[in-house]
Amino acid sequence: MKLHEIIEILKAEVLTGDRESQMEILSACGSDLMSDVMAYVKDNVLLLTGLINPQVIRTAEVMDIKVVAFVRGKIPDSNILELAREKDITVIRTEYPMFIACGKLYKAGITGRGADC
Amino acid sequence: MSENLINLYYVINANDFSAAGEASGNVKKKLVQLGIDPAIIKKTAISMYEAEMNAFIHANGGEINVEISNNRIVIVISDKGPGIADLDLAMKEGYSTASDKVREMGFGAGMGLPNIKRYSDELDIQTEVGKGTTVRIIVYIN
């Protein structure tokens, strides 16, 4: 699924990166625990999280995760967004809570591959 | 003996949460520049990041030495923290001594050391209660 479709499904606001992005997303991971995110390696991953701090971006960088979605309407501060821009990571935010956001994406076809996280 | 190509040194500052993990990002960037296989870079970056965060979270920071040679990457992270009382227990998934504050930061799930074990090719941990811990991680390039 293309990133711009995900942005539409989540009714997300784009905080860094391109709203019309054609980036292909193959799987997603929803977690507030960064070590859990790091336990599973996949490609073209979207990270959904309710955790707001710079370590989310650092974890994404380490994991080659190019897109982070903050759920539950949380607003990351400018330091986090600056770090994301520096690392070329797209940041979006949605008002949907974690379960609903994951559910909408799953229903739309992002079911993940291999072990889920 | 393999030829030493690059030596890197970093200090983990205990008072700067937003900078924690920066060293791992820098090493990752360096490995990308060197044209190392992306799968090996990811293994290295995850292992180092977890160990870096451990030193930040548990030990008031520490220091990191990275040696990149033709056939392997060696990462040594040392701290003067409290040490690990029961290493076997600490290696178990889900076991953590982290505080609630650390959990609120998204860490302390008891996955740090198991993740390092999972992604590194060799892991050696020397620890003494009250003295500190040295974690040595090796990832082979070929």
CATH number, domain containing residue A64: 3.40.1390.20
Q: What are the strands of the beta sheet with B122-128, ordered from one edge? A: B4-12, B62-69, B72-79, B132-140, B122-128
Looking at the complex, does the CB of residue A77 fall below 8 Å from at least one CB of chain B?
Answer: no
Distance of alpha carbon A70 from alpha carbon A89, whole angstroms: 13
Residue B139: is its pLDDT beyond 90?
A: yes
Domain assignment present for A88: yes
User: What is the rounded distance in angstroms from the CA atom of residue B115 to the CA atom of residue B91?
Assistant: 9
**Domain span at B115:** 4-140
Read off the pLDDT of residues B10-48 as tens digits, 9 standing for 90 and up: 999 998 988 999 999 999 999 999 999 999 999 999 999
Q: How many domains does chain A contain in total?
A: 1
**Is the Cβ of A63 closer than 8 Å to some Cβ of chain B?**
yes
pLDDT per position in chain A (117 positions), as tens?
999 999 999 999 999 998 888 999 999 999 999 988 988 778 889 999 999 999 999 999 999 999 999 999 999 999 999 999 999 999 999 999 999 999 999 999 998 664 444
Contact B52, B116 (CB under 8 A): no
CATH of the domain at B77: 3.30.565.10
Is A15 contained in some domain?
Answer: yes
* Domain-embedded: residue A99: yes
Token pair of B83 as six digits: 């040490």
Parent domain of A52: 3-107
Asked if residue A26 belongs to a domain, the reply is yes
What are φ and ψ of residue B16, in 5° steps? -125, 85
Q: What are the distances in angstroms from CA A49 to CA B23, B107, B129?
A: 23, 13, 35
Find the CB nearest B20 among A35, A55, A56: A55
**Contact with chain B for residue A79, Cβ under 8 A:** yes
For chain B, what is the domain count?
Answer: 1
CB contact under 8 A, A55 and B45: no
B59, B133 contact by CB (below 8 A) = yes
Given this model, what pLDDT does residue B52 score? Answer: 96
CB pairs under 8 A between A and B: 76
Question: In this structure, is residue A62 part of a structural domain?
Answer: yes
B60 at interface of A, judged by CB pairs closer than 8 A: no
**Within-domain flag for A115:** no
pLDDT digits (tens, 9 = 90+) for B38-85: 999 999 999 999 999 999 999 999 999 999 999 999 999 999 999 999
